[in-house]
A and B are shown apart, each in its own frame.
Chain A
Amino acid sequence: MSSTDLVALVLLLLLAAYTCGGGADFGAGMWDLLAGDRDRGARPRSLVDYAMAPVWEANNVWLVFILVVTWTGFPPVFEAVMSTAWVALTLVALGIVARGAAFAIRKPTHRVARRRHLGIVFGLASVLTPFFLAATLGGIASGRIPPGNSKGDPVTSWLNPTSVLFGILGLLAAAFIAAAFLVSDARRFEAPDLEAYFRTRAVVSGSLLLLVMAGGLLVVHEDAKPLYDGLTSGPGLGFAIAAGIFVLATAALLRTGRLRGTRLTAVGALASLVLAWGMAQRPYALPTTLTVDEAAGDPNTMRWLIFVTIVAVALIGPALALLYRLDLTDRLAADHDEDLIEATGAPGR
């Protein structure tokens, strides 16, 4: 395996990680948005807030990694994608600002109306941001982004059948993994009603995900034949089938109440989905105008990139493990609100 292939694989795995970590994060925002009015939505929302708070920042850093590895390892791809699909990606940038700020600021905000407004901003940005990101990937996959500075169509590069399909898949995948994670969180916080609440949602969004995956093949057949060929043969097909099996396994485990493996199977489903796409468009970085090898940066840089990745894994792995461990063993707790409310004797407690 050449260093270029290795960097390409690293990039795919980073995308898979962001789909899972960022997806759980965005998905939680969607469930927050869909939780209904103040009374009905209060409990699910509090679970979302409580479960997401300690890890959400770490999740979004995957995106920065993806950007950095793309512009360092495959500079022409970065140039082409960012300059052609700029409408969608500018909206992504704005969505990320609005979402992050709304979430961070909502925590210590006490006025109810303000909290609700911030909550709506957070929820809407949680839907739009992943949609536009996935739609851009759809533009790449269907060969609508040519190399060069702004050489493709600024609208149809991300607004086309394959992009819409990718966008919907992205939303469903995010909703699915978030709901699956929240079931375990609900059990951890001993809230059986919420466990059932999110179990239903995980199963429904998982079923929809399977349906759209299968139906999507028809769309891709019409809209992006090379991608269709890649998805119906070889490793592309293998990973697509694996994704389906993982979704089914997650739903089955959730229904029987055995939650131990559900986080893993949900991650497996989304990672397989990303890998299926990556494998299907080989050997192209930008189908069908630029191959991965043509796009690769200087060989010295590629070797350094692998080295930096190894260092990163060696340092971040343990830290991330510690974060999740402390979080899962309940040794992390939001600090700002409760004590202060206790101290002031504010109403509502």
Chain B
Amino acid sequence: MMLGSVLADGAVLADGPSQLLPAREQMAFTLMVHVILVPFGVALPLITLVMNYLGLRRKDPVAIQLARRWSTVMAIQFAVGAVTGTVLSLEFGLLWPGLMGKWGDVFGIAFGIEGWAFFLEAILVAIYIYGWKRMSPRAHFLVGLPIPIVALVGAFSILSVNAWMNTPQGFELDSAGNPTNVDITQVLFTPILAPQYLHMIAAAYMVAGYLVASVYAVGWLRGRRDRYHRLGFLVPFTVAAIVTPLQFMIGDALARQVFQEQPVKFAAMEIVWETGPDQPEYLFGRLQPDGSIDGGIRIPGLDSFLAGFSRDTVVKGLTEAPAADRPSIREANITHFAFDTMVGVGTVLLGLAFWFGLAWVRRRDMPRSRWFYRCAALAGVVSVVGLEAGWITAEVGRQPWVVYNEMKVAEAVTDIGAGPIWTSFAVVVVIYSLVVWAFLSVLLKMKLRWRHADAETARAGLPPDIPQQAVPVERDEVAR
């Protein structure tokens, strides 16, 4: 449905050149696919290493087994993410040459940092994945240790560019309107970077944690209540549950930063039409062309209160900017809907995290209710919805600008006809669908294979199938 609204969003862009619509849709589509893979590159390595550490520390073959299997999943998704990421780099030029030709030397350096961070991560991940069997367990673990840090550096660079597009600075314009005197530190560290960065990192940890845990929640519901499923659920879910309340604070800080730095975007997120104090908060609802709101739940004064801790806080409205320089009514509604969806998802997940925390504090154990596991089984997919909604909020809310208040998307787009881009968009959709389908079917098949393997070893009375490195541990287990 969100994809539908993004696609529909383009339909109102009557003022741009005809190729703008397919270019935006293709970029949006490829980014929406890529962003799902991001949590597995950014957050799964740490979750896997925690499991690996537990396995080494407690000499627990089950933990080692889980870490090893997760690293296999990480490997496959990393490969797919590497190619979808490469496609995005090509698309910068194929779809947005105007952006790159003018601003490439201003914001490009962050991608340089991302380039080597990703390369380093790829190398270390390759060693980690292929090193399970023949490297010493300690050396293998140590090689894995820098991966989460390198991943944070890589994510920093990408978020730095996106933050710059939202709050551009660190350059002057010469008489021809071209940027000169680039100040790289100003470019890298823009006003909105810190909350935006932390928001994305926390989101990555939530998605990776809830998604991995949801797999084992399903197993738990189906009666596979062994140590394997317990550990596989506990470690990622705990990570995600710890991050969730933090994410609320980070998200709140980011929203206030948007209110300061991009008031018109904030107005779109909250569908505020006229500037003024005592603005109500609308939960969902649709902005009409005359500025009235249709539907939704109105909470008087809450928007002003959230923005400045007082009902007297003046919140700027969309009409603050000329119609050509602000999101259209349609775009504002998409932004608002996505924003409310994201906050809604976050609230639901926060409730789930509290449920888990409460059970742990009271009984030092996981919740007993089947309903908890039903919710946890859905939490993975729900968190992905939240991630996509957040991304749509950030991107659609910035329209019609690609570089906020400096360059419009219409000026950035490639100067070829709409037809070829529709064609390439269609081909991209087909190929990506095949890739996603194949990726998911491989994951499912691996899962089945692992389950068969476990059933086989259990029937034979053997300890779980574990890599060679844990052979001494295996003997311990048998002795016990």
* Chain A residues within CB distance 8 Å of chain B: 53-55, 57-58, 60-61, 63-65, 67-69, 71-73, 75-76, 78-83, 86-87, 89-90, 92-94, 96-101, 103-105, 108-110, 149-150, 154, 297-298, 300-301, 304-305, 308-309, 311-312, 315-316, 319-320, 322-323, 326-327, 330-336, 339-340, 343-345
Contact = CB atoms under 8 A, between A and B. Distances in A.
B72 A101 contact: no
B465 A97 contact: no
Contacts, number: 261
A104 B80 contact: yes
Interface in B103-133: 103-106, 108-109, 111-116, 118-120, 122-127, 129-133
A129 to B, nearest CB: 11
Given A53-B130, A101-B438, A71 B93 contact: yes
A71 B100 contact: yes
Interface stretch (B267-275, B285-293, B452-460): B452-460
A298 B100 contact: no
B112 A343 contact: no
A58 B428 contact: no
A335 B72 contact: yes
Provide the main secondary structure of the chain A interface.
helix
A242 to B, nearest CB: 28
A251 B127 CA distance: 32
A249 B332 CA distance: 65
B374 interface: no
Contact of A79 (B76, B78, B91, B97): B97
Provide the main secondary structure of the chain B interface.
helix
B126 A58 contact: yes
Return the 4 tightest CB-CB contacts between A and B, nearest first: A82-B93, A297-B105, A72-B108, A79-B101
Contacts of B181: 298, 300
B82 A100 contact: yes
Interface size bracket, B side: 35 or more
Nearest to A319: B123
B61 to A, nearest CB: 13
Contacts of A304: 109, 184
A101 B68 contact: no
Contacts of A73: 105, 108
Contact of A335 (B439, B456, B457, B467): B467
Given A71-B104, A79-B93, A86-B94, A333 B83 contact: no
A55 B129 CA distance: 11
A60 B83 CA distance: 9
Contacts of A71: 92-93, 100, 104, 108, 111
B86 A60 contact: yes
A101 B434 CA distance: 9
B94 A89 contact: yes
Contacts of B91: 93
Nearest to A111: B445
B12 interface: no
Most interface-central of A98, A110, A312 (chain B CB within 10 A):
A312
Given A149-B414, A335-B129, A301 B106 contact: yes
Most interface-central of B130, B452, B465 (chain A CB within 10 A):
B130
B452 A105 contact: no
B263 to A, nearest CB: 30
B431 A98 contact: yes
B431 A316 contact: no
Given A75-B103, A333-B134, A57 B78 contact: yes
B40 to A, nearest CB: 13
29 contacts: A57-B126, A61-B82, A61-B118, A61-B122, A68-B111, A69-B112, A72-B109, A75-B101, A80-B97, A83-B97, A89-B94, A93-B91, A97-B432, A98-B431, A100-B80, A104-B80, A105-B438, A105-B442, A149-B101, A149-B414, A297-B108, A301-B105, A305-B112, A311-B116, A326-B135, A331-B131, A331-B134, A335-B68, A339-B133
